[in-house]
Structure 1
Amino acid sequence: MASITLDHLAHAYRPDPRGPQDYQLKEINHVWRQGGAYALLGPSGCGKTTLLNIISGLVTPTTGRILFDGRDVTHLPTEARNIAQVFQFPVVYDTMTVRENLAFPLKNRHVPRADIVRRVEEIASRLDLSAVLDRKAQNLTADAKQKISLGRGLVRSDVAAILFDEPLTVIDPHLKWQLRSSLKELHRALDLTMIYVTHDQTEALTFADTVVVMHDGSVVQTGSPEELFLRPAHTFVGHFIGSPGMNVLPAEVRGRTAYIEGIAIALPSAYPALPPGARIELGVRPEFAELTRAGTGVPVKVRRIDDLGRTRIARIEIAGHAAAATVPEGLSIEGDAAGLKLEPGQIHIYADGARVAGEGGA
């Protein structure tokens, strides 16, 4: 088990990078604590797999260092880092039984037989593989084979970290929740450092204690799932986290008031130091924007209302800009005119995508 330090880490696949645009992974400085459950979350091509491969030793960074418990491992091969990695698709020995697959990493390290038996049975039980322990892997479904891959990564208790690269891609949808729950339980029980790469926000937010959101090769925010939802540090985080994502609307800010095409919205704080020439936007999540009757709150036009069962979401326009809002139970709207009530403490102001703190720390 190890803490992992990323020290001025950056990587470019071209041999002569000349600027930030040439880097797949832009400079990162971060410390991941020992025993933490982390998720690298972002769209395809944002750099998360590159970062994972640098941690595992499959890629050597262009600049910077990576340290395990303060030890520089930047140029050490994968086998010298004492990590386990689980890939997107199953990696198993088809001619071995499930039991032999799970035991293989322990036998290679000459773990006593009694400890191997105990550990294999524990991991098999947690991954629902006990009933197939003595079956050949080649006869199993893709779901079961990926469970074996997960088990081989988890069976060792002495690893510095376990790295998961979108490990549930081939898993049947109805089993994904079960496996995420099993991984979370194993993390709590084993106190291992786990890093989980995914583009699926549900996977990231249910697995990780700390989520690292990446966009265009950069880390745009690191925080708990609650922090990412309530206080997005960047408009990309607001868009990417949540369903539907945060409303982001172009605005002009004067004092404690934002104006969207002349429509005034009261702000909880003043913003006297917004950078001149910056793109200014107002962000508020649909969960904190509630539809009301026309003549109250911010005037909006209702385009449609989607009934999602447990809640209703209104698709609206504010001064011609598309947005979404929640519809309270029992509210009926006649025509397309309505109002919008915003929760003041959940209105955020952004300059060129980055969240700006107002006076008073809002």
Structure 2
Amino acid sequence: MIKAKDSVVSLIGVVSAQIVLFLCISLIGRSSGPEVLGHFNYTLALGTFAGTLLACRYELACVSDSPQQSFNALVNVISLSAGVILIAVAISFVAGRSDLYIVEAFAFAYFIQQAAGAYLNSIRRYGWIAVCRLAVNLAFLTCLAGRWGVLATRGLDVFVAYTVVNVVVAVLMLVWILLLGKRRGYEFRVSREFFVANSRFAKYILPSTVFGSVLTYALAIVIPHWFGAESAGYFAAAYRLGCFPVSLIGQSLGGVFRRDAVAAIAKDDLPDALSKVFLAYARSLAVLALLYAVGGALLFGPLVKMVFGNRWDGAIGFYYDLIPLFAFQMIYVPLSQVFLAVRQQRTDFLFQLSCGATLMSVLFAARLMNLSAQASIRSFSLAGAMLMICGITLTFKVMSGSVSRVHAST
């Protein structure tokens, strides 16, 4: 059963943070134009992608029904990520790529926030997760709205300001959690046993994430290279504004769903508990996706013109092509947490492998056919939407299979 209070608190936090980020994106776009927004979106995609892979997905072990185990997992993954980022910085130095330092700093800060958020999820501190998410974007908005922010949008890289804000919040989160763990008497111990016991995350979830990231980051990375900065800016506006409801649902309900599913599995009445949790979330997500698709089709055009102005008409066509993908993503992304809850990482990996290979093939086929930016996005979106439908079906089968196995064993 959905825990209304947890879902509402988590949803409010994500909605508030996304609304503030929407204001930040609108400020960048209105004051600096498509080129600057396109570059910001490109570097943000690179940093987020790197941060997601930084600890080989071992941070997923931070979500546990035991706060002590969750804290131990956090200590281990922070240590691993620190080692990886130091190696990355050394490679950048040797290669003479000082421009990558800021991307690496953002990746590390982003990773710390995700791992710390997973620990706070385990101890049901949804309010703190919401506050931290909101703090990042509020501080960034302050930078953009202040004197320094105006200068940044007219000459300096706004991604630098966003990185500084993320680093500060990440450090504060980590220090607070470590002090809390010390008060509770938890051990600060890095052990080989942790990585052996949770190796399934590196074996299956890491490659799954790499292939799954094609859906999330591929367009943001290839469009600037293939179609120029202006098209990248229009795409950034369409994607950032259009995807923010998808993101907020995935981050809020997705995290709570996984926590509730883990709790359901820990109960004696697993078949009934897990089925009820899954079906309740699935029905709610289907309704939200339908409302999103209809509302987006009606309101996105006027919203873009109101926020950015008439010069941003190019973003409207991009968004309409992305609606099918966004709508089915809104359902699949939270429900995909069931793969982790029932430990079906191999199934998730095979599906993400298929998704990544299919979408990359679509992109390169579009490139070989010399399609326009809009035609390439449309092809990518339709292929992604069909894959999301397959993924939704697969989550139901995985859940049903787990319940059937429990019934058979009893």
* TM norm structure 2: 0.22
Which of 1 and 2 has greater Rg? 1
Larger RCO: Structure 1 or Structure 2 (Cα < 8 Å, ≥ 6 residues apart)? 2
- Higher helix proportion (structure 1 or 2): 2
- Higher strand proportion (structure 1 or 2): 1
* TM norm structure 1: 0.24
